[in-house]
Amino acid sequence: MILRLTPRRRFPSPFIALSLRRLSSSLPNITEDVGRSIHPTAIVHPDAVIGKGVSVGPFCTVGSSAKLGNGCKLYPSSHVFGNTELGDSCVVMIGAVVGDDDLPGYTVVGCNNVIGHHAVVGVKCQDMKYKAGDDFFLHIGDNNEIREFCSIHRSSKPTDKTVIGDNNLIMGSCHIAHDCKIGDNNIFANNTLLAGHVIVEDYTHTAGATVVHQFCHIGSFSFIGGGSVVSQDVPKYMMVTGERAEIRGLNLEGLRRSEFTISEIRSLRRAYRKIFISGDAVSLGMEERLAKTEQDKDLYGVPVVREMVQSIRDSFSENRRGISKFRHWSGS
């Protein structure tokens, strides 16, 4: 017996075709003379502010309070909701969501930002302080690349903001929680998770699967090794790693790449030895070691050394978490 397989026929759906025609005919005519390109299946509210040269792909949604700057591009099935403003030349990739219709406050995104595939930016935080009806805020600067499946939440209270600066690379599946303050030129590798109220300064670098406890402070030019759990502050210029992150030395490679001078790096190494490695690291307390470093006029006269010492001091101020643990070494 021979079975003969025939190809399955494809029947067009008159209902779908009719629905799309009706949707297209009901949209306002906003493609007239300013170079806009809006697909007929996109839903763009007539009150939305659409800049020149904007491209809105199939099945996108642009809400009534949204503002799209000149040259923005929304890829298919991406959505801009609520009181959300995108600056010029932003790109929202497939499936991404920016803003929230049901959340008072606003989401402001600067210019030349990329919101990756299925990223969720500017939605309600996951914090018990949240009170429905209050205003909540997110402010993102310019030239940031936010990759696929990232989540960035608005603040947890109306008196604060979640803030991200300029020129940051936030790789896939990262999370930036409510009320975080992120500076400029940072690199967060995949699955970096920042809890609420974390502060990250400038030019930091996290490796993959880094977890940072709420209220921690990550200093400029620091490096966090992969798989680390950071539960206390990381001072400027430091390298930390470990399941409970420990200070393992200076971020020497990061300093070189950032074009610190040989003289600056040598001075930082001398100061680091005084604070963390010399015999004083065992016999004296942290305050005494910092004071001895400050008394070395030649060493403390170097600006980067002063910044490192001040960064350590600040970590012991009120409402801070102290610095990450470090090993007591002896010798040079």
Query: How many angstroms from the chain centroid is the CA of residue 330?
Result: 39
Q: How many residues does the chain have?
A: 332
- CA dist 188 and 171 (Å) reads 6
C-beta separation of 183 from 165 below 8 A: yes
Residues 42, 58: contact at Cβ < 8 Å? yes
Q: Of the residues 82, 87, 196, 219, which is catalytic?
A: 196
- 179, 184, 202, 233: the active-site residue: 179
Tokens of 288: 């005494």
Question: Is 196 a residue of the active site?
Answer: yes
Ramachandran angles phi, psi of 205, nearest 5°: -145, 125
To which H or E segment does residue 122 belong? strand 120-123
| Catalytic residue check, 227 | no
Distance CA 298, CA 271 (A): 11
CA distance 58 to 27: 13
Catalytic residue among 79, 139, 175, 178: 178
Instruction: Indicate the angle between helix axes 303-315 and 262-272, nearest 10 degrees.
Output: 40
Q: Among 290, 320, 324, 318, which residue's Cα sits nearest to residue 305? A: 290
Residue 255 has φ and ψ, to the nearest 5°, of -65, -40
Buried b (16+ CB within 10 A) or exposed e, 203-219: bbbbbbbbbbbbbbbbb
Active site residue 205: no
The catalytic residues are 178-179, 196
